[in-house]
């Protein structure tokens, strides 16, 4: 029996109870850490595509996971709260039978290895399966902590928003268009070498993301300096550039 202050209470706690508390805290911390990584690494577009497939196993999993991701900020606050509670409570438990310095180092080591590294390494490889299996448990914790986490999540929805945004910078757009041009050229050469000449003209009529002229215009626009772009906006593109078709 350990006779010490346990969470501010002077009670006798057996070593088995302390060990059980440490194990439970480690498991909870590992689940929160792993879910935080794998849930927010899942692509909503891919999940929606899986849902459209029908009644497959992955489609059912995707439906369950989307129940959580529709409340992304509330989910984020809940998982962070659980993880932080574990991080704060672990040293307090070790402090009952170790000195303060040793309690900090031991708790940090256990949390780092067993509640961070190992769970995240496992969860990220089976993100959809694990997330779907734990969906209802996470929803229960979200409801349990809702007096605090729901209100904070709503504040995040108001100030930050709950929609994902994806922006490409100028350099990324340039590379994307150039890559598409290279892929189109390779496809054209490959098709020309494998098809008859009369079929080659039909390939040009197939739908493409961008036509060669559109790609040239976009590459030119993205290559303009700020001064040139300002002149185009002020004076009109016809007074600055002319497009000649040969």
Range of the domain at 89: 2-159
Q: Which H or E element spans position 164?
A: none
Specify if 10 maps to a domain. Answer: yes
Give 110-160 pLDDT, tens digit per residue.
999 998 999 988 898 889 999 999 999 999 999 999 999 999 999 998 888
Q: Are residues 46 and 129 in the same domain?
A: yes
- 153 and 180 both lie in a single domain: no
Residues 121 and 43 in one domain: yes
Whether residue 20 is contained in a domain is answered as yes
In a domain, 107, yes or no: yes
Q: Which of 159, 181, 206 is the last residue of a domain?
A: 159
Q: 0.75 exceeded by the pTM?
A: no
Mean pLDDT, rounded, for 154-171: 70
Q: Which of 125, 159, 193 is the last residue of a domain?
A: 159
> Is the domain of 196 the same as that of 130?
no
pLDDT above 50: residue 204? no
pLDDT digits (tens, 9 = 90+) for 171-193: 655 666 666 667 666 666 565 55
Q: Please indicate, yes or no, whether residues 57 and 38 belong to a single structural domain of this protein.
A: yes
Are both 28 and 74 inside the same structural domain?
A: yes
Residue from 133, 96, 77 nearest 21 by CA: 96
- If asked whether residues 6 and 35 sit together in one domain, one would say yes
Same domain, 74 and 128: yes
Query: Contact 141/68 with Cβ under 8 angstroms?
Result: no
Q: In the numeric block, which tokens belong to residue 120?
A: 């995240």
Same domain, 151 and 178: no
Cα distance between residue 138 and residue 133, in whole Å: 10
Residue 225 has pLDDT above 60, yes or no: yes
Residue 215 · residue 180 · CB < 8 Å: yes
Beta bridge partners of 9: 6
End-of-domain residue from the set 104, 132, 159 = 159
Question: Is residue 245 domain-resident?
Answer: no
Number of domains the chain is built from: 2
- Please report which residue ranges of 40-99 form alpha helices under DSSP H: 44-53, 57-69, 72-94
Residue 206 DSSP symbol: S
Per-residue tokens: 212: 């060669």
Residue 100 lies in a domain: yes
136 and 17 share one domain: yes
CA distance linking residue 92 with residue 98, whole number of Å: 10
Beta bridge partners of 2: 13
Same-domain status, 112 and 185:
no
Is residue 63 predicted with pLDDT exceeding 70? Answer: yes
Same domain, 18 and 91: yes
Kindly state whether residue 165 falls inside one of the protein's structural domains: no
């Amino acid at each position: 029996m350990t006779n010490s202050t346990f969470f501010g209470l002077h009670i006798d706690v057996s070593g088995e109870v302390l060990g059980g508390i440490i194990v439970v805290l480690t498991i909870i911390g590992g689940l929160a850490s792993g879910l935080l990584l794998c849930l927010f690494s899942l692509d909503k577009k891919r999940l929606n595509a899986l849902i459209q497939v029908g009644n497959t196993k992955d489609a059912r999993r995707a439906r369950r996971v989307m129940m959580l991701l529709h409340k992304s900020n509330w989910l984020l606050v809940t998982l962070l709260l659980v993880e932080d509670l574990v991080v704060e409570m672990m040293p307090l438990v070790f402090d009952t039978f170790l000195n303060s310095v040793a309690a900090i180092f031991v708790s940090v080591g256990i949390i780092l290895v067993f509640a961070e590294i190992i769970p995240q390494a496992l969860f990220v490889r089976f993100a959809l399966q694990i997330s779907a299996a734990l969906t209802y448990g996470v929803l229960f914790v979200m409801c349990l902590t809702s007096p605090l986490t729901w209100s904070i999540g709503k504040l995040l929805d108001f100030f930050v928003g709950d929609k994902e945004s994806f922006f490409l910078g100028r350099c990324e757009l340039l590379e994307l268009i150039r890559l598409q041009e290279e892929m189109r050229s390779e496809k054209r050469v490959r098709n020309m070498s494998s098809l008859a000449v009369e079929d080659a003209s039909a390939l040009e009529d197939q739908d493409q993301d961008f036509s060669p002229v559109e790609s040239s215009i976009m590459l030119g626009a993205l290559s303009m300096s700020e001064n040139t772009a300002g002149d185009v906006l002020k004076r009109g593109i016809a007074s600055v550039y002319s497009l000649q078709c040969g």
